[in-house]
Amino acid sequence: MSHRRLIVGVVLAVGAVTIAHAPSAFAAEKPTATDVGVTATELRIAVIADVDTPLAPGAYAGARDAVQAFGKYINQQGGLAGRKVVVDYYDSKLSGDETRNSIIKACQNDFAVVGTGALFLNNVDDMVACADAKGAKTGLPDVPVVTLWEQHQNSPVSFPITAPSKLFSDPTGQSYQARVGRFRWYLQHVSKDLHGIFLVGADLPALKTATMPIWLGAQKVGIKSDGVFDVHGADGQDKYLPMATAMQSNGSTIESSGVNDTSQAYMLKEAAVQGVTTVKVWDCTSACYSKRFLETAGAKAEGQYVDMPFVPVEEAKYNPAVKAYVKAVGSGIIDGNGEQAWGAALFFRDAVNAVVKTGGVNSLTRANFLTEAGKIHSFNADGMLATSDIPAKKATPCTSLFQVKGGKFVRVFPKKPATFDCNPKNVVTVKQSGS
């Protein structure tokens, strides 16, 4: 069961907020009940998140807190579709059964699911076949933070804020998209001779399949591999000795992690114990953007690079959406999951507003929401997230790179705060056989 701890960290890995009143053309229209979760006065949404579990306490509490805070925030702005937003929270508890039960409850009570942080959502049958108020199997709209399983990634009613690595348009099932902007930057600005190892979560085939494109992409742009090492949820620091030994024997100049913050902290500490001195780049996904990473790695975190597909809270003063998120969550948990869940809520807001703009406050149905959400092909959560095509599930080419300096995450590239480099070359297609 310890593999669940690992999965939590691996998958962690986007302008001013507009006021959400109904368009003036329908200002005189009186709201009525239109679908499940939509009454004359309320619009109910659900957030399903892994929180209360001893295996990984508070895993997606940040996502829960963000969506709950969004409900209060948007109501202060006038609500959505002329109604008060009510947030129902269902704890999926890192359990397939609890996750499925949560989906069934949301189907019966809520208009949509927003900010989903349920890692064992590997069955979407109840979500896809969810009946609307008229009994039609329209489906339960879902805007998730994380999608680990291909069933969820390819769900016709899901709009993942972070695109899955698999390209479902390829009938062979072997094409994946990899974000390589940071690797290109390393080769241009750190060293042209980068070769090293990659750490991959290996407790589940789906986990490994979802993560390996990172390293395949790195190799495609010119980084050579000295080996790939499996990491498991129960691994302590001593289990990283083989990795440190491999770096020593190969004179590795880069180490890249597709795992989580704790794993990378152990890697850094064990490498120091073994006297590894050749590494020029310690690389990690946004999973290492955490207070826990800084605390666990301590002084060894210095110099760690972190890929950031969203504007971090350190730059809240430069982005109104991030500032609004931080203020709204208040004393709650603020982290990368929370930022992306807030982004998911803003996507939900935009799709609802699009429905209302087209047909008025009483056109708000799940079917109309799915139609309008499918048209939002350029989304950045008011500049909070890297711009991406959510409905097409395309990996964003936009990236920013941070490095730990003096115990803090400091922007490296691009230099201007709250910006991204969006070179199309930052995404490449790679091949792997799949799970």
pLDDT in tens, 225-255: 999 999 987 899 999 999 999 999 999 999 9
In a domain, 391, yes or no: no
Query: 301 and 325: one domain?
Result: no
Which has the closest alpha carbon to 215: 232, 202, 234?
A: 202
Supply the pLDDT for residue 56: 67
In a domain, 387, yes or no: no
In a domain, 392, yes or no: no
Query: In this structure, are strands 281-284 and 254-257 parallel, antiparallel, or unpaired?
Result: parallel
Query: 81 and 210: one domain?
Result: no
> What phi and psi, each to the nearest 5 degrees, are found at residue 159?
-125, 80
Query: 293 and 321: one domain?
Result: no
Give the residue-averaged pLDDT of 281-310.
94
Which has the closest alpha carbon to 160: 329, 424, 421, 392?
A: 392
Residues 6+ apart with CB under 8 A from 247: 196, 197, 226, 255, 271, 276, 278, 279
Bridge partners of 175, per DSSP, are 431
Q: CATH no. for residue 423?
A: 3.40.50.2300
Query: 149 and 31: one domain?
Result: yes
CA distance 428 to 388: 15
CA distance 83 to 268: 50
Bridge partners of 282, per DSSP, are 255
Query: 303 and 341: one domain?
Result: no
Supply the pLDDT for residue 3: 47
pLDDT at 21 over 80: no
Q: What percent of the chain has pLDDT above 90?
A: 82
Q: Domain tally for the chain? A: 2
Full residue range of the structural domain in which residue 19 is found = 3-162+315-373
The amino acid sitting at 309 is: P
Query: 278 and 333: one domain?
Result: no
In a domain, 170, yes or no: no
Query: 119 and 158: one domain?
Result: yes
Q: How confident is the model at residue 20 (pLDDT cuts 50, 70, 90)?
A: very low
Supply the pLDDT for residue 18: 36
In a domain, 386, yes or no: no
Q: Which residue has the tokens 């429905």?
A: 355
Which has the closest alpha carbon to 31: 346, 371, 356, 351?
A: 356
In a domain, 388, yes or no: no
Query: 298 and 328: one domain?
Result: no
Dihedral Cα 336, 337, 342, 343, nearest 10 deg: 80
Average pLDDT, the chain: 92
Whether residue 218 contacts residue 210, with contact meaning beta carbons closer than 8 Å, is answered with: no
Query: 238 and 353: one domain?
Result: no
Q: What percent of the chain has pLDDT above 70?
A: 93
Give the residue-averaged pLDDT of 347-353.
98
Through-space distance between the first and last CA atoms of the chain, rounded to whole angstroms = 20
pLDDT at 344 over 90: yes
Give pTM, 2 decimals.
Answer: 0.89
pLDDT at 286 over 70: yes
Query: In this structure, are strands 195-201 and 175-179 parallel, antiparallel, or unpaired?
Result: unpaired
Q: Show the 3-state SS of the chain.
A: CCHHHHHHHHCCCCCCCCCCCCCHHHCCCCCCCCECCECCCEEEEEEEECCCCCCCCCCCHHHHHHHHHHHHHHHHCCCECCEEEEEEEEECCCCHHHHHHHHHHHHHHCCEEEEEECCCCCCCHHHHCCCCCCCCCCCCCEEECCCCCHHHHCCCCECCCCCCCECCCCCCCCEEEEECHHHHHHHHHCCCCCEEEEEEECCCHHHHHHHCHHHHHHHHCCCEEEEEEEECCCCCHHHHHHHHHHHHHHCCCEEEECCCHHHHHHHHHHHHHCCCCCCCEEEECHHHCCHHHHHHHHHHHCCCEEEECECCHHHHHHCHHHHHHHHHHCCCCCCHHHHHHHHHHHHHHHHHHHHHHHHCHHHCCHHHHHHHHCCCCCECCCCCECCECCCCCCCCCCEEEEEEECCEEEEEECCCCCCCECCHHHEEEEECCCC
Q: pLDDT per residue over 151-171, tens digit each?
A: 999 999 999 999 999 999 999
Residue 112 CA neighbour count, 13 Å, CB half: 27
Query: 150 and 201: one domain?
Result: no
CA distance 70 to 72: 5
pLDDT at 10 over 50: no
